[in-house]
Every structure is written in C-alpha cells, then in structure tokens.
A and B are shown apart, each in its own frame.
Chain A
Amino acid sequence: MTRFWRRLSLHRQLVVASTLLLLLTLMATTAWNLQSQRRQLIDEATDKAHSLAQSTALAARSLLVRESYDDLESLLLQLALYPDLMELAVLDADGRILADVLQSPEGPQPVYERLTRTLPSSLSERSVSGLTRHQGDVLILWQPVRTSTLLGWVLLKIDLGPVEKRIAQALRDNLMVAAAATLIDLMVLLMVLWWPGRSFRAAIDFAQRMTAHPGQTLDVRGGSREVAELVDALNQASIDLAQQHSRLEDMNRRLEQRVEERTRDLQRSQLSLKRLHLAVSQSQMALVLLDEQLNIEEANPAFESMTGHAIESVIGQELFRLIWSSKNTPKLLDELIDHLKQGRYWQGEVTLRRANGFRFWVKLAVTTIQPEGEGEHLGFLLTMEDISERKEYEKQLIQQANFDALTGLPNRVLGFDRLQQAMRMGQRQNRKTAVMYLDLDRFKQVNDTLGHRVGDLLLIEVANRLKQCMRPYDVVARLSGDEFLIVLSGVEDPVTVEHVAEKILHVLSQPFTVEKRDLHVGASIGVSVIPDDGEDPEEILRYADTAMYQAKQAGRNCFKYYTQSMNEEAQRRLQLDSALHLALEQDEIELYLQPIVSCGQGKIVGAEALMRWQSEALGSISPEQFIPIAEENGLIDELGAWILDRACRELAGMPELEFVTVNVTSSQFRIIDFADRVHAVLDRYRLPASRLHLEITERVLMTDQRVVLDNIQGLQEKGIGLVIDDFGTGYSSLSYLSRFPCHALKIDRSFIARMVEDASAEALVDAIIHMSHALGVRIIAEGVETQRQWDMVCSKGTDLVQGFLIAGALEVDAFRRRLQQHSTASGGTDDEERD
C-alpha cells in the first residue's frame, strides 16, 4: 500500500487525498446533521401533535357538554386537515366514540362503523396529562377532555413516515450535494494542478534528458511560481551544462586535432623521409654529399651509373679529382670551389670524366648544406644531370638553324650573317665585297619532270661543285630552292669577280649525272658590289637578285652586274604585282577570243580564250608579262577561274560556235575539286561538256601527283575535252597520250615558224600529225601567219588552224561580228583583222 502510494505522482496523491478527505468530512457532517434534524423533526411533530390534541380537547369540551356531536364532527373535520394526521377521534370517558375522522385520499372522512374503542390500560392514571405512544412510524396521543371531571378523550394519530421521508430526501440531497462538491473539488483540483503537474512532468522529462541534450531549454510556462522557478533553474542548468559540455568537447577536439596533427606530421615526415630516400635512390639525377674537403660522403645509384664508379669505392675520395675533365675551361674549377667556400650556390654545365675515360656533359649544381638556424654548414650537396644528349641535340639544332640540311651549306640566315661579317670586314680593310645571287636554269623542269628526289640530288651536286671552286673564306649559302648566295670578300678588282662567275657558270654547265641520268642545267648569276651599289646588306642582296633576273631575261647561263635600270625594272615588276591584285576587282582584265578555223572550209569552229590587261596606272600589259607574276603571287588561280567563267558565258551566247579552249595552269590542276568547279561553271550556263576544251601543257600530264591525275580523270569522265598546248617543246613523249586520251594537240608555233625552212621541223610536224591521227586526236596548228604556212599545215592534214593569218585575239564583240560574217561567207583570210 505504502509502496503503491509512493509510486503515485504528487498530482494524483493530492487529488486522491483531497477527495477522500472531503468525502469523509461530508459524510460525517451529513450523518450528524440528519440525525439531529430527524430528532428535531420528530420532537416538533410531537409538540405540534400535543398542541393539536390540547386544542381539540379544549374545543370539544363545550360540545361534549352540549352533546352537539354534529358540531364536534365538523370541528374534527376541520382539525383533521392538519398535516400527516391519520385519525382524530373524540371518545367519552367510557371509550364510546363521539366523533371519529379518518384521513382518506379524498380528505378527512367521518366514520361511524365502530361505536367504541378500547382505552389503553394506563390511560386512567394519566387522565390529567394524557398519554403519548409511538407505534412504528405512528405517533398516538391520548388527550383528556376535562372540566372538573373527565368528559372524554381525544385520540390523535400522526404519521411520522413523512418525517422519515423528509430525512431520506435530505439524505439524498445531502449525498447529491456531497457528490457534486466532491466532483467540483476533483475538477477544480485537476484543473488547478493540471498545469503545474504537466509542467512538473515536462521538467522531470527535461531533467532526465538534460545530460543527453545539454543546451536545450524547456519552454514551459504556467502552473505556479515554483514550477516556473524550477523550469528556469533547469534551463539555466542545461545552458551551463551545455557550455561546460561544449568547453570539454572543444578541448577534446583540440587535443584530438593536435594528436592527429602530430601523427600526421610524423607520418608525413616518415613518408617524406622514405620518399626522399626513394627519390634520391631512384633519381635519374646523380646526388652526392660532400664533406668540407669536398670528399665524397654519400652518393646515389644514379651517380654510379653516370660515372661508372662504384659507390663503395669512391667514399672518402675527393670528388673533383676523380671525375673533373681537363676539357673544361681551366679556371672553372677554381671558380666553383671559391663559390662553395663562400657558402654560395654554384651551377653550370661542365664536362666530366667517366671511369672508363669517356667524357660526358652534366648540369652540375652544388649547394652548401646549411642547418636550419645558425650553425656551421654540414658539407655540400652536389647534383649532376647528364645533359650529353641535350648537348648533342643543341649542336644539331644550331646546325639545323644555320645550315641547309640538304646541301650542308649555310642557310639563308647564316648566309646573311656571313654577308654582314664579310661586309664589315671589307669596310675595315677598305676592300670591296661582291655578292652573287645564283639561280639554276631549268631546275624547275627537272623537279617537275623527274621528281624532287632527283632535284635534291642535283642540288647536292651543285653545292659540292660550288664549294670546290670557292676559296675557303668565301661564303656559299643556299637561299632557297635552286637559289644560292655567294659572297666574295676582299675583292680587289672586278676581274676577280668575273673570273669567279665564269668559273661557276662553267662548272655548272657541265652535265650532272644523277641516278645514271645526264642532266643539263645552267645558272644565271646576278652580281652586286659593296660599297659600289650600296652598303645595306638586304638592299645589296635584292640588287643581286634583280641582276640575276636580268641574266635570266638575257638568255640564261650568264651573269649580269647590277645596274640602276635593273632596279627600275624590278620596281616595275613590284608595281605590276600589286596592280594585278586590283585588276580583277577594278575590271581591268578583258576577255579576248582568237578564232580557230577548220582547214577544209575555213569556217570558224572554235576560239581560244585569252586575257588582256588594260591597267589604268601602267597601261596595256601583255599576258607574257603578267601571267608569270600571277603564277608567282598566286593570283593565277583566280585569273583562271575568271577566264573560265567568262569564256563559258560568251560561248553560251554563240550557239554556232563549236567549242572554246581555255588555258589552265598546273597550279589550277592542283586544286582538289577543280574538275567539279569546271563542271559547276558548265552547269551555270547550261553548256554541254563537249563544247569546252581545256588547254594544258605537256608538263601537267607528266606529273605523277595524285591530285592532278584525279582532276584529269574527273574532267574526262565529265566529257570535257583536253587540248595539249605547245606540243613539241617539252619531252614530247607520246606515251602519255595513250594514258590520257585528249581531244586535240596544239603544235607549238615554233615548229610552224620553222618548218617552212627547216626540214627536220617539218618531219617532226608530219610525225606528230600522223601519230595523232592514228590515236584519233585532232591537230590544231597555232601561230599560222602566212598563206604558205596555211597551205603546208592544211596539206599535211591538220584539222584546225589558228593564227594571225586568220585573226589575232579579238574583243568579244569583234569576234561575234566575224563569226556572223563567216557563217554567211566561209573561208579566206582577213588581213585587216590582224592584231
């Protein structure tokens, strides 16, 4: 029981105790109250009954005397209205009933059935005071009616049941009130104690949790002051606890952190030591520790492999005495040792000696090993990196940068450098310096026809011959391709220069045997002289170039001195070059058409598309002048495309014309999609491919470049005819005619010009015509200028003729007029139209 009670919450204890106490109190009070009330009620009832009995006796007295029993009955009926009265009767002294009224549900009723009543035996002694008796809940009174003697008795019966009922009712009421009071007390208690109880509970829970979750606060209000104070105290305790907790954790964390750091540092240093050891032992760089006297203390495996000295055998030996090479600059070692003695770092590239005596290059770095803080140094650390390979490579680089890889001659850079040196030396010695610009003749043809390998071999041979015929201090350099620079220093008179130039020309005109082939090349040489022509090396070189170009113009295999006029022409070429760039934009190039007629009828069947340039700044410029420039500066492709487009456009407007031929350069054939581009032009003007013929030179066909061959094939597949131009001037190999079936051959104008007098030329023309016909290829004779030539070529079976005899190149309008004339009256020549 005690244990059970102690387990209850304060809240419940209070409620239970209070309720029990209240209940007990109420019960006791109720019991006592009811008891006294009951006694009081009965006493009251008895007293009242006595009064009633006495009153009745008094009132009945006269009526008894007068024997007025009807009035007596009326009196009793009135008095019988008294509450709880059961019976009221008046008897005479002998017990005969004089009036008797009984209570009935309808009210008091007189009864007459009985005439007498038995008087109680004790009544006679009580004839003065009367008798009071209780029979159960009934109170019975006998009251005497007296004058001087006893007249009779009043009998009164009162029902005390209602008193008991009222007591029972009061008990019920009291119990109800007690229950209600208890209930209200319970509710009030519950209500009053609910908040504090809840808060207490929360506070207890909170206190139990507090150590697990310090710092949390309890947000519980209400209840009572004690609870609020308790909650505040708990919250404060929690905060304090959290702070202490946090301080502890912080301290702990710092400790852990420090331990972790130490451990990490230790591990790191161990690792680093291990790594350092591994790094040192595995390093490709040789590492050596030296003592103060530069004796070896330690060395790594790289040192052993680098120097060939076993580590064990060299410990304690003086390092430099062991491996220092005498090839180094004499004072270098002293300088190094000086540096070290002063505690300074030294680094340099030095030659060392291997155990087997071989030398090698290293990058050497020596550092003083200084302890942290103050203190004596601990010796030296020496690192060596084998840079032999690099040194070798550097040497090669220098060679490559300054020398031509093919010929071994100084290249343009070194050549120019030597030129400057020679010039300065000449200035000091007051001597002249001659500069020669040499260009091989026909080297391009060799390269194009026999390939670059042959060209390269040829160039090597040329270089060798040039070196042989030069003095050792003269400079021979390869500028580019087949161009060479020769610098003659200390020239005393022009004759020397001329001798040398002639000697060079002679040497180079001798045939070269390359891959069992005899090749004939010559050279053109331009000469400029310092200080006569100028003192700026670049300018001097350009002057020599200009002179060389003149030599080429002059018929090759000769040399020319630079003159002022040469310079002017070179200037003009430069002008042309720049003007040409603008020519197309400014519409200065025009299309001309030269008629091609058939031998038989003399009817115009075709035309060759040609260009004319009427420059606004430079006047009329012939294709012979601007085409080479265009080829040099790359505009040739643009010009080629332009003329192709213009020619096709005009052709589309001349349906009576069978075809047009357009010249195409080798560089155009090197354009990857050239064939497609041509086809696109035809499409643009809705021309059949058969009406366009492209003129190409033999050299284009002789190439074995993939892209060129693809383009030729592409053109043929599309049905575009090829015409071989200048046939006979090159290698004239007919074999490729079978490889590349062409539409027509154009016999070079030089044969036409010569064949009237030269029988061999005529025979050659005959052969060409015959063979062509045998292959089904048409022949076009170009450059026919005389009637004699016309007759000859036509009699030999030439199909078509072109030349001034018929017409030169005509403007498009003029050509159209001529075409219309011919369509009406064919044949004959028209001298008037000669160009």
Chain B
Amino acid sequence: MFRLPFFLFFLLLIPMRAPLAAETDPQPREYLWSVVPQFSPTAVHRDWTPLLEELSRRTGYRFRLLPASGFDEFERALFNGGYDFVYANPYQTLLAHRKQGYIPLVRDEQRRLTGILVVRKDSPYQSPRDLDGKTIAFASPNAFAVSLYMRAMLREQEGIDFTPLWAGTHSNAYRAVLLGRADASGGIYRTLEKEPPSARHLLRIVYNLPSTITHAVSAHPRVPESVRQEVQLTLLDLAQSEQGRRLLSAVFLPQPIAADFERDYRPLASLNLDDYVVLPR
C-alpha cells in the first residue's frame, strides 16, 4: 500500500543529489596509477587493486590502475608523463625524474634489489663465462637489475657476448629457460621466489649482482603537493596496521619509508647504464 509512495519519494531524491555532489567537489580528480610490468597485467591488477582501494578510502582521492602489458608500453607512457603515480624500478625512477621530474615518495626500507642469472638445473652452465655466445632472456631492455645492470655487468665485467631475448616479463624470462628457448635468464630474487616450486626447483643461479636500492612509488609533479604528501603519509601510515602491512607486502612494500631522490636514486647515474637503455620508439 505505502510502497508506491515510498518508491516515488526515492525517485524524487535521485535527481536532486547529483547537482549537490557536483557542488561540493567541483573538480573530482582521478589519478592514474601504473606499475612496472615485472608480472603479467592480471597479476599486477590482482596485487595492487586492494591497496589502491584502501588508499582511496583513506584519502578520498580516486586512483585508476593502468597496468601496462609490457616494458615498452610502460616506459613510453612513463617518460611522456602519462601516469600521475607510478611504481617503478630504481633506474626508471631515475630516468622518470630526469625526463618528467617525477618525485619518489615511498620506498621499502629493508629490501634490496639483487640481480641474478639463472639456468636450467640440468644444463651444463656453471658460470657466466660458460654462456658466451648463448641466448639470455631478459624481461625487458630497461629493466634495472635484471637487464640494464646485468647486461652492463656481463659485457663489461665478465666480457662475454650473448644474444638477448626480450621475454616481456620476469616470469616469461624464467619460462624461456624452462622451455628451452633460452640458455639463461636474468632475474631478481624477489621474482624468482614468486615462481611455483616446480619451476624454482628446475632453475639454478649461476651469477649474482651487487645489491641496489629497490623500487619506489613516485608522483608526477603536476600532482598537488598536498595530495603527494597525503598519499605518502597514508602509505607510511598503512604499515601501522596489520591489514595495511598485508596490502603493502603484496606489492613488495612491507616496511615503507619516505624516499628521497637525491639520497636514494641520483647515485644510480654513476653506474653509466645509459648505453644499455633501449628507449621506446
């Protein structure tokens, strides 16, 4: 009996609310957020969406995740300033700052980035020198530890020549070794640990790089200072709660601290890796 009047009341309410919301937030900002394609876009989406939703809930800003399907696509967008916020490897962070002025906000305190070279366990390769003239898979040309730093170290320190195979992602690089399409693959401990046990057991590490600083969350300079700071503080604050730590751990930021470009990332320029950078076309 009274359901019809009730329903009519709501009908009246709906068109009234829209202009109200527009008035209170005249510029509803949505910030684009992307992540270095170490993993497949599906895995990226899976790991990052919960964190961004929590961040939106706490800050009131909206973040849209734009996972890149490969390093090319990612770096092109990044170096053109296509993302408001980005999670990128240390050298990308350095290049992004140099090209667009991206400002690192948060990095993990403890974790270090260590590049490794893996082969199939049943292969005869015991050292990097055994791989002279062989095919070595890399996630991408510009991936910092696994590719830039590794290629530079293999050519300049070990003195071997090799054919690179651009696999697109870390896991695909590992699979190139597993499926016999490459003799070795560059990688890092963090991504190797994420491989299924059956895969890990069939891989053997033949070479370690020196540890370097890890990835950072950076913001484009067009993002207002207040928003940058709020996002930085919120990410740091998340580590205070168990739920927050779980969300951070999924994206390899279990112990976040504030990042500082000059202190943390400018030193990477001294590695002289620019020759090895393959810029997107």
Please give, as numbers and ranges, the residues of chain A lying within 8 Å of B198 by CB-CB distance: 109-112
Bound-state CA distance A68–B41 (Å) is 12
Q: Is A69 an interface residue (CB 8 A)?
A: yes
Please give, as numbers and ranges, the residues of chain B lying within 8 Å of A166 by CB-CB distance: none
Bound-state CA distance A111–B42 (Å) is 21
Please give, as numbers and ranges, the residues of chain A lying within 8 Å of B178 by CB-CB distance: 112
Number of residues in A with C-beta < 8 Å to the partner?
17
Contact of B179 among A71, A74, A115 (CB under 8 A): A115
Bound-state CA distance A111–B202 (Å) is 10
Bound-state CA distance A74–B179 (Å) is 15
- By the criterion CB–CB under 8 Å, are A70 and B169 in contact? yes
- Return the CB mask of B165-205 against A: 1 if under 8 Å, else 0: 00111011011101110000000000000001011001000
- Return the CB mask of A57-68 against B: 1 if under 8 Å, else 0: 000000000111
- By the criterion CB–CB under 8 Å, are A71 and B42 in contact? yes
- By the criterion CB–CB under 8 Å, are B202 and A98 in contact? no
- By the criterion CB–CB under 8 Å, are A97 and B40 in contact? no
- A78 — nearest CB in chain B belongs to which residue? B42
What is the CB-to-nearest-CB distance from B75 to chain A, in angstroms, rounded to a whole number?
A: 18
- By the criterion CB–CB under 8 Å, are A73 and B42 in contact? no
Q: Is A96 an interface residue (CB 8 A)?
A: yes
Q: Is A113 an interface residue (CB 8 A)?
A: yes
Bound-state CA distance A73–B178 (Å) is 12
Contact of B180 among A67, A70, A115 (CB under 8 A): A115
Bound-state CA distance A96–B175 (Å) is 13
- B43 — nearest CB in chain A belongs to which residue? A74
Contact of B172 among A70, A110, A113 (CB under 8 A): A70
- A66 — nearest CB in chain B belongs to which residue? B168
- By the criterion CB–CB under 8 Å, are B179 and A70 in contact? no
- A69 — nearest CB in chain B belongs to which residue? B175
Please give, as numbers and ranges, the residues of chain A lying within 8 Å of B175 by CB-CB distance: 69-70, 73
Please give, as numbers and ranges, the residues of chain A lying within 8 Å of B169 by CB-CB distance: 68, 70
Please give, as numbers and ranges, the residues of chain A lying within 8 Å of B174 by CB-CB distance: 70
Bound-state CA distance A97–B43 (Å) is 23
Known: A69-B172, A74-B40, A112-B202. A96 touches B179 (CB 8 A): yes
- By the criterion CB–CB under 8 Å, are A70 and B171 in contact? yes
- B203 — nearest CB in chain A belongs to which residue? A112
- Return the CB mask of A102-144 against B: 1 if under 8 Å, else 0: 0000000111110100000000000000000000000000000
Please give, as numbers and ranges, the residues of chain A lying within 8 Å of B199 by CB-CB distance: 110, 112
What is the CB-to-nearest-CB distance from B270 to chain A, in angstroms, rounded to a whole number?
A: 34
Please give, as numbers and ranges, the residues of chain B lying within 8 Å of A71 by CB-CB distance: 40, 42, 172
Please give, as numbers and ranges, the residues of chain B lying within 8 Å of A96 by CB-CB distance: 179-180
Bound-state CA distance A71–B41 (Å) is 9
Please give, as numbers and ranges, the residues of chain A lying within 8 Å of B171 by CB-CB distance: 70
- By the criterion CB–CB under 8 Å, are A98 and B42 in contact? no
What is the CB-to-nearest-CB distance from B98 to chain A, in angstroms, rounded to a whole number?
A: 31
Bound-state CA distance A111–B199 (Å) is 7
Please give, as numbers and ranges, the residues of chain A lying within 8 Å of B168 by CB-CB distance: 66-68
8 Å CB contacts to B: which residues of A76-104? 96-98
- By the criterion CB–CB under 8 Å, are B196 and A74 in contact? no
- A111 — nearest CB in chain B belongs to which residue? B198
- Return the CB mask of A36-70 against B: 1 if under 8 Å, else 0: 00000000000000000000000000000011111
Bound-state CA distance A97–B179 (Å) is 7
Known: A68-B40, A71-B40. A112 touches B172 (CB 8 A): no
- Return the CB mask of A268-296 against B: 1 if under 8 Å, else 0: 00000000000000000000000000000
- A70 — nearest CB in chain B belongs to which residue? B171
Please give, as numbers and ranges, the residues of chain B lying within 8 Å of A113 by CB-CB distance: 202
Secondary structure at chain A's binding surface: helix, strand, loop or mixed?
A: mixed
- B166 — nearest CB in chain A belongs to which residue? A67
Please give, as numbers and ranges, the residues of chain B lying within 8 Å of A66 by CB-CB distance: 168
Please give, as numbers and ranges, the residues of chain B lying within 8 Å of A70 by CB-CB distance: 40, 169, 171-172, 174-175
Please give, as numbers and ranges, the residues of chain A lying within 8 Å of B202 by CB-CB distance: 112-113
- By the criterion CB–CB under 8 Å, are A67 and B196 in contact? no
Bound-state CA distance A74–B174 (Å) is 14
- B171 — nearest CB in chain A belongs to which residue? A70
Bound-state CA distance A19–B182 (Å) is 74
Bound-state CA distance A70–B69 (Å) is 13
Please give, as numbers and ranges, the residues of chain B lying within 8 Å of A67 by CB-CB distance: 167-168, 172
Which of B43, B171, B179, B180 gathers the greatest number of chain A CB atoms within 10 Å? B179
Please give, as numbers and ranges, the residues of chain A lying within 8 Å of B179 by CB-CB distance: 69, 96-98, 112, 115
Contact of A109 among B42, B172, B196 (CB under 8 A): B196
Please give, as numbers and ranges, the residues of chain B lying within 8 Å of A115 by CB-CB distance: 179-180
Bound-state CA distance A68–B171 (Å) is 9
- B178 — nearest CB in chain A belongs to which residue? A112
Bound-state CA distance A67–B198 (Å) is 21
Please give, as numbers and ranges, the residues of chain A lying within 8 Å of B176 by CB-CB distance: 69
Bound-state CA distance A36–B230 (Å) is 68
What is the CB-to-nearest-CB distance from A11 to chain B, in angstroms, rounded to a whole number?
A: 67
8 Å CB contacts to A: which residues of B29-64? 40, 42-43
Bound-state CA distance A113–B176 (Å) is 14
Known: A112-B198, A112-B202, A113-B202. A68 touches B172 (CB 8 A): yes
- By the criterion CB–CB under 8 Å, are A110 and B40 in contact? no
8 Å CB contacts to A: which residues of B2-22? none
8 Å CB contacts to A: which residues of B79-95? none
Please give, as numbers and ranges, the residues of chain B lying within 8 Å of A98 by CB-CB distance: 179
- Return the CB mask of B143-179 against A: 1 if under 8 Å, else 0: 0000000000000000000000001110110111011
Bound-state CA distance A23–B171 (Å) is 63
Contact of A110 among B43, B167, B196 (CB under 8 A): B196
Please give, as numbers and ranges, the residues of chain B lying within 8 Å of A69 by CB-CB distance: 172, 175-176, 179
Which of A71, A73, A113 gathers the greatest number of chain B CB atoms within 10 Å? A71
Bound-state CA distance A562–B180 (Å) is 202
Contact of B42 among A74, A110, A112 (CB under 8 A): A74
- A71 — nearest CB in chain B belongs to which residue? B40
8 Å CB contacts to B: which residues of A728-745? none
Which of B174, B175, B198 gathers the greatest number of chain A CB atoms within 10 Å? B175
- A115 — nearest CB in chain B belongs to which residue? B180
- B122 — nearest CB in chain A belongs to which residue? A113
What is the CB-to-nearest-CB distance from A624 to chain B, in angstroms, rounded to a whole number?
A: 156
Bound-state CA distance A73–B168 (Å) is 15
Bound-state CA distance A586–B168 (Å) is 179
- B39 — nearest CB in chain A belongs to which residue? A70
Bound-state CA distance A267–B205 (Å) is 147
Please give, as numbers and ranges, the residues of chain B lying within 8 Å of A111 by CB-CB distance: 198
Bound-state CA distance A70–B174 (Å) is 9
Please give, as numbers and ranges, the residues of chain A lying within 8 Å of B40 by CB-CB distance: 68, 70-71, 74
Bound-state CA distance A96–B196 (Å) is 21
- Return the CB mask of A431-446 against B: 1 if under 8 Å, else 0: 0000000000000000
Bound-state CA distance A728–B179 (Å) is 197
Bound-state CA distance A191–B169 (Å) is 78
Bound-state CA distance A69–B172 (Å) is 6
What is the CB-to-nearest-CB distance from B40 to chain A, in angstroms, rounded to a whole number?
A: 5
What is the CB-to-nearest-CB distance from A432 to chain B, in angstroms, rounded to a whole number?
A: 163
Bound-state CA distance A452–B60 (Å) is 180
Bound-state CA distance A315–B174 (Å) is 175
What is the CB-to-nearest-CB distance from A36 to chain B, in angstroms, rounded to a whole number?
A: 42
Please give, as numbers and ranges, the residues of chain B lying within 8 Å of A73 by CB-CB distance: 175
Bound-state CA distance A115–B42 (Å) is 26
What is the CB-to-nearest-CB distance from B65 to chain A, in angstroms, rounded to a whole number?
A: 18
Bound-state CA distance A73–B199 (Å) is 11
Given A66-B168, A70-B171, 13 additional A-B pairs, CB 8 A: A67-B172, A69-B175, A70-B172, A71-B40, A74-B40, A97-B179, A109-B198, A110-B196, A110-B199, A112-B199, A113-B202, A115-B179, A115-B180
Top-5 shortest CB links A-B: A70-B171, A69-B175, A112-B178, A70-B172, A115-B180
- What would be 19 A-B contacts, judged by CB atoms less than 8 Å apart? A66-B168, A67-B167, A67-B168, A68-B172, A69-B172, A70-B171, A70-B172, A70-B174, A70-B175, A73-B175, A74-B42, A109-B196, A109-B198, A110-B196, A110-B198, A112-B202, A113-B202, A115-B179, A115-B180
Give B contacts to A, CB under 8 Å. 40, 42-43, 167-169, 171-172, 174-176, 178-180, 196, 198-199, 202
